[in-house]
Amino acid sequence: MRYIVIEGNIGAGKTTLAKMLAGDLDAKVVLEQFSENPFLPKFYSNPQRYSFPLELSFLAERYKQLNNELRTGTLFNSLLIADYYFMKSLIFAGTTLTSDEYKLYRQIFEIIYSSVPFPDLYVYLHLPPQRLLDNIKKRGRDYEQSITLEYLNSIQKGYFQFFRQHPNSKFLIIDTSNIDFVLNRDDFLKIKAVIFDETHKKGVQRVSF
């Protein structure tokens, strides 16, 4: 089974694109169940108190979901598309946790991480933080309205650092600033063609339209 991840900062449209691609290609789709996490609204209202339990709960849930989906597979789908990757846990934890909490968290993460397969292609949807903030405001989730530009910038830096640390993997950064793949079918087809181009090489590749 081919395994592709569609990632991005908060508000980048990763879940929407993952669903659209899966529907277009009759692929199996794995979506993060973040809305069911009871700590998420508490975290946005009180980050200092709820960062550690939030990150631990996400770590456990992401591992359980990805491990189940990737290990079982299916006879009817040769392609799996997910809207997150397990490393996301470490990227967000590095931003939200204190130094001591992060050291402990990383020890737990490293024990689990080695058993999670790396995707065949890691797609990152890039938008400037201000555009992300606009998208967050538009979708109107109450618990997200306290998200700041500073927080989005720190998450973005975490992703880019992660890319640099894995030069032997395939990363595709797509700048979607000038397109609308949701409302414009041609824009969607452009992204689809770039993602499924068989010439992707190891390292970071950047595409803009």
Give the chain's domains with CATH numbers: 2-208 (3.40.50.300)
| Reduced 3-state DSSP string for 72-129 | HCCCCCCEEEECCCCCHHHHHHHHHCCHHHHHHHHHHHHHHHCCCCCCCEEEEEECCH
Residue 83 a catalytic site member: yes
Cβ burial, residue 179 (10 Å; 0-12/13-18/19+): middle
Q: Give pLDDT, residue 70.
A: 75
pLDDT value at residue 154: 94
Predicted local distance difference test score (pLDDT) of residue 74: 57
Q: Mind listing the pLDDT tens digit for each residue in 2-46? A: 899 999 999 999 999 999 999 999 999 999 887 678 898 888 888
Residue 40 and residue 147 in contact, taking contact as beta carbons nearer than 8 Å: no
Residue-level pLDDT at 14: 96
Residue with tokens 């692929």: 27
Output the tens digit of pLDDT for each of the chain's 209 residues: 889 999 999 999 999 999 999 999 999 999 988 767 889 888 888 888 999 999 999 999 998 888 888 776 555 668 999 999 989 999 999 999 999 999 999 999 998 888 888 899 999 999 999 999 999 999 888 888 889 999 999 999 999 999 998 899 999 999 999 999 999 999 999 999 999 998 899 999 999 98
Q: Catalytic pick from 24, 26, 83, 197?
A: 83
pLDDT in the model for residue 56: 93
Nearest to 206 by CA among 142, 124, 138: 124
- Residue 36's pLDDT is 75
